[in-house]
Chains A and B, each alone.
Chain A
Amino acid sequence: MFGKVMLGVLGTTVLAGVFVAQQGLVRVRVVEHKEGGDRVNLYVPAAVIPVALKLAPEEKIREAIERAKEWLPAVRIASKELARLPDTELVEVRDHREHVRIRTRDGYLEIDVESDREDVQLSVPLKMIEKVAQELHARGPAS
């Protein structure tokens, strides 16, 4: 009996692991350059984000949709198309104070900002962006 339960747990864990790995991770890294500055490393399974959207307060979601409604179709299309295309550096802006790079790599949209004050790195699965934009668009008022 114990063996069967363990097998069930193991099987579920393996499948959950594969699912999470396939959906990817949202990664946020912030390093402040001042003395005693913060270092933040945040990893969130992308599979959690659409679920969190469903559980988030309706009012907050409505506010987000209201702010982004004009751009949601464009975001959905852009993420879908970028996932189809080879990895590329989409935008790079460099001056004497900051270096900003927006690129796609292995199905992720990566945004890196390096500056005198802090470094910020954000990495988001393109499929997740598409899903979130689709979800928000579907929940918004009919256009």
Chain B
Amino acid sequence: MKTKMTLKAVLSVALLMALAISVPATAAAQAAQTTQPERWLHVRVESVDGKGELVRVNMPLSLAEKLLPAVRNERLRDGKITINESRMNGVDLRAVLEAVRTTRDGEFVTVQSNDGEVRVAKKEGYLYVNARENKKDKNTQVEIKVPMTVVDALLSSGTNELDLVAAVRALGKHGDSELVVVKDNKNTVRVWLDSKNTSE
């Protein structure tokens, strides 16, 4: 009789301890789900030539924001990328972005040729880059739309670097939007931002 009572007591204690260990983890998981919705960056590359090739990437922006400072190599440090002008064919990328940032809305680059055309414009808080290439065996269309707040954030760091973490943070504050679309005869590439964790 005494042994049965002790058995019950031990089992009760063991079950209580098991619950005590598992309940906080469940509560923490539920708390995480009730916070504000996560922003996701999606990349989808799909072949259009019937081979069924597909690449899909779903990246939470909060993860990118925390991961970038942890990556340290020659050019990327503390979430900032160092611009080496000598490696950019003499183009001062920072100066170009700064010029775009301070320019009024309008179309400021238009290149038209027989092979295609390139347009760069700034309108209602967005930078647009549209390019089209027409060749005998290849037609390519590129559409890029970047919020100007992201450009501002990129330039918010030192003089010879771009702040990627600040840019990701700024991107996260934007609503659902299509950032990049590239279409050619073989593939379609899409990069977009929303609050869903799937790219279906």
Q: Which residues of A approach B to under 8 Å, CB–CB?
A: 3-4, 7-8, 10-11, 14-15, 18-19, 22, 70, 73-74, 76-78, 81-82, 84-96
Asked if residues A77 and B66 are in contact (CB atoms below 8 Å), the reply is yes
In the complex, chain B residues whose CB is within 8 Å of the CB of A95: 51-53
| Residue contacts A-B, CB under 8 angstroms, 28 given | A3-B3, A3-B7, A4-B6, A7-B6, A8-B10, A11-B14, A15-B18, A22-B22, A22-B25, A70-B71, A70-B73, A73-B70, A77-B63, A77-B67, A81-B67, A84-B32, A85-B197, A86-B33, A86-B38, A87-B197, A88-B60, A88-B197, A91-B58, A93-B54, A94-B52, A94-B53, A95-B53, A96-B51
Partner among B7, B17, B55, B56 whose Cβ is within 8 Å of the Cβ of A18: B17
Asked if residues B25 and A74 are in contact (CB atoms below 8 Å), the reply is no
Q: Which residue, of B15, B18, B33, has the highest number of chain A Cβ atoms within 10 A?
A: B18
* Chain B residue nearest to A91 in the complex (CB): B57
Partner among A7, A22, A86, A93 whose Cβ is within 8 Å of the Cβ of B197: A86
Q: Which residues of B approach A to under 8 Å, CB–CB?
A: 3, 6-7, 10-11, 13-15, 17-18, 21-22, 25, 32-33, 38, 51-60, 62-63, 66-67, 70-73, 197-198
In the complex, chain A residues whose CB is within 8 Å of the CB of B14: 10-11, 14-15, 18
Give 3 closest A-B pairs by Cβ, nearest first.
A3-B3, A88-B197, A18-B18
In the complex, chain A residues whose CB is within 8 Å of the CB of B17: 15, 18
Asked if residues A7 and B10 are in contact (CB atoms below 8 Å), the reply is yes
Interface majority SS (helix, strand, loop, mixed), chain A: helix
Interface majority SS (helix, strand, loop, mixed), chain B: helix
Number of A-B pairs, beta carbon distance below 8 Å? 94
Distance of A88 Cα from B57 Cα, bound (Å): 10
Given contacts A11-B11, A14-B18, A81-B60, 11 further A-B contacts (CB under 8 A): A3-B3, A4-B6, A7-B10, A10-B14, A15-B14, A18-B21, A70-B71, A85-B60, A85-B62, A92-B56, A95-B51
Asked if residues A92 and B54 are in contact (CB atoms below 8 Å), the reply is yes
In the complex, chain B residues whose CB is within 8 Å of the CB of A15: 14, 17-18
The minimal Cβ–Cβ distance linking A81 to chain B, given in whole angstroms, is 5
In the complex, chain A residues whose CB is within 8 Å of the CB of B6: 3-4, 7
The minimal Cβ–Cβ distance linking A53 to chain B, given in whole angstroms, is 21
In the complex, chain B residues whose CB is within 8 Å of the CB of A81: 60, 62-63, 66-67
Distance of A92 Cα from B54 Cα, bound (Å): 7
Asked if residues A89 and B62 are in contact (CB atoms below 8 Å), the reply is no
